[in-house]
Chain A
Amino acid sequence: MMPSLYLPSDSLARAVGADEVAVALITQARERNLPRGLYWLEPLLEVDSPQGRIGFGPLTAADVPSVLEALQGDPSAHPLAFGLVEELPYLKTQQRLLFARAGITRPLSLDDYRAHGGFEGLTRAVAVGGEQTATEVFDSGLRGRGGAAFPAGIKWRTVRATEAAQKYIVCNADEGDSGTFADRMLMEGDPFLLIEGMAIAGITVGATYGYIYVRSEYPDAVATLRQALNLARAAGYLGANVGGSGQAFDMEVRVGAGAYICGEETALLDSLEGKRGVVRAKPPIPALKGLFGLPTLVHNVLTLASVPLILAKGAQFYRDYGMGRSLGTMPFQLAGNIRHGGLVERAFGLTLRELVEDYGGGTASGRPLKAAQVGGPLGAWVPPSQFDTPLDYEAFAGIGAMLGHGGVVVADDSLDMAQMARFALQFCAEESCGKCTPCRIGSTRGVEVIDRLLAAPDQSGRDEQVIILKDLCDTMQYGSLCALGGMAPFPVASALKYFPADFGLQASEADQ
């Protein structure tokens, strides 16, 4: 008899040919599972064996006949077989808490989800009540995973303590940063985890309705979440009596429309209200006056998805991972010019070098590594000389960088950092909501200054433009209303500081 076959269904696995492989396998494959995050091996086919699941990848449809043939004899003899999937060092050394079910469960199977710890967090939250649940979240040390790393427990207590006729939970799933895909993976692969996290948040802070705001570039995530909501509702995890708590909570999925700025929480709220996604001045904070002017708990996907585990296992269990004030695990995302692109969930504290070199295996091109941009398009370019910095919010802030959402984009020596700096400002100009002047005007002026710098015929001309550029970065950083204008100078200043030659500068010129 043919053993069970497992092939991921998420959009990136499909983007590299998993559907074609599935068609070729159609008579053999079991339902498609959520991916492991071993994207460099996708499409990755897993096959049961007495020792555990054996992996084949990256497959093409043309490989299927030979794989099926190998399964009749000695599977490990196939050239694309790489042994037991769970013994792969890339996977085995990870600390998967959020992505514990990756590769194992089917995305829309409530039975699979429950069989692997699903809804234990909600059950405990219902049992211990709101006050204790909020305390547990506070004590866990969980911080916002969207980038700002604000302590989640403070938000929960604030919203819980605010009296209002209506409160909301809003999940920010507008994962627009290049180099990040953990939110997408979680929504496509383990949607009930997010739903459970939001349900716990709802009954804890007294919110009766929630929205998941998903970017339009993620249609598969939207479709999966909508199906999952229907299944969860039918099973009593949403609705008038959430998980037997006697409290009501329900939610819907809303789709963005291609505006990067809507990943900023207040712009997202305006967008949910049906307006242009324009940033609001704070205060008032959304916890007091958020969606439709009512108290709103706004969190990133991974923050909310961390909550079920914290409740199920307790705050102390979670605190035991991590370092300093960065507690728990972080799903780091390896992207760009990297040999082993994928998802690496580890406790905070491993170094960027371990992540990029040990897990990532260096550049995909085989050329020397030049830099890594950590934390999305608004994050600094970190040179290899700083790769021994531990992945910790404070340690990264200490070197003038940011950890953000944990995305790491690797570049080899062929990438021109002056062009990347120019792009950061051009992107900011394109995506600025226009509310504040430093961002709206500064980004456009910044592109012009870089163009003049690159075209300057002599040193005095370059010096003049460098002074203007630094001054402009300073104005944007301290004068902008939100992180778009406030952090767009990070990639610019870091490129200028560490790669002056790309701007035609001597190190001493950039340093003045």
Chain B
Amino acid sequence: MPDEMLQLPLVNSLLERHKGSAGALLPILHDIQERIGYIPDAAIPEIAHALNQSQAEIRGVISFYHDFRTAPPARHILRLCRAESCKSRGAEELAAQLRERLQLDDHGSSADGSISLRPVYCLGACACSPALELDGRVHARLSAERLDALLDACREDA
């Protein structure tokens, strides 16, 4: 992706902001992902240089954490909670509904780039399970109908 080079000034300004802060790699990666949407490959040598670490160390951290992406995300990110509390209230049926309706597996992205599915293990909404997070907002007490309505809304603005 050649246009990644265009993002380097932004990456460097973010690196500058964290200069002198101890153990700043996670905050740096969060900042880059928040601004750019993912961690561009071209940013990795810059991060490594700024922190005086090897590129392998930086890549190792990125791949360890579920949150960090190395490619642009879909327009909508839907994370269905699959942990025990939500399972006890039908999360697996909702997961099957998602797979069926979107024709995706649990970690898939739709071909048109409109929606990405990701499992998540607990959103802290366990008193009102089942729950999901859509574009950063939690929806709890889900039902098959509410899930369909949320998906319809995603499709409409695609």
Q: Which residues 179-195 of A sit at the B interface, judged by CB distance below 8 A?
A: 179-181, 184
A342 touches B131 (CB 8 A): no
B65 touches A273 (CB 8 A): no
Query: Contacts A176-B121, A217-B120, A254-B26 hold; do A334 and B127 have CB atoms under 8 A apart?
Result: yes
11 pairs from A and B in contact (CB 8 Å cutoff): A217-B123, A255-B30, A258-B65, A274-B24, A274-B26, A336-B85, A341-B127, A377-B84, A411-B88, A420-B84, A423-B84
Cβ contact of A409, chosen from B66, B88, B138, cutoff 8 A: B88
Q: Which residues 90-145 of B sit at the A interface, judged by CB distance below 8 A?
A: 120-129, 131, 133, 136-141
Q: How far is the CA of A256 from the CA of B139 in the complex (A)?
A: 21
> Can you add 11 more A-B contacts, CB < 8 Å, to A274-B51, A292-B22?
A16-B140, A178-B126, A181-B125, A257-B29, A257-B66, A259-B64, A276-B64, A335-B127, A336-B85, A341-B128, A364-B89
B125 touches A15 (CB 8 A): yes
- In the complex, per-residue mask of A32-60: 1 if CB is within 8 Å of any chain B CB, else 0: 00000101101000000000000000000
Q: How far is the CA of A375 from the CA of B23 in the complex (A)?
A: 31
A277 at the interface (CB under 8 A from B): yes
Q: How many residues of B contact A (CB 8 A)?
A: 43
Query: Contacts A217-B133, A259-B65 hold; do A39 and B88 have CB atoms under 8 A apart?
Result: no
B42 at the interface (CB under 8 A from A): no
* Residue of chain B at shortest CB distance from A379: B84
A181 touches B89 (CB 8 A): no
A175 at the interface (CB under 8 A from B): yes
- In the complex, per-residue mask of A126-142: 1 if CB is within 8 Å of any chain B CB, else 0: 00000000000000000
Minimum CB–CB distance from A136 to chain B (whole Å) comes to 31
- In the complex, per-residue mask of A408-438: 1 if CB is within 8 Å of any chain B CB, else 0: 0111100100001001000100010000000
- In the complex, per-residue mask of A55-75: 1 if CB is within 8 Å of any chain B CB, else 0: 000000000000000000000
The residues of A that contact B57 with a CB separation of less than 8 Å are 275
* Residue of chain B at shortest CB distance from A261: B64
Q: How far is the CA of A409 from the CA of B129 in the complex (A)?
A: 10
Q: How far is the CA of A259 from the CA of B65 in the complex (A)?
A: 6
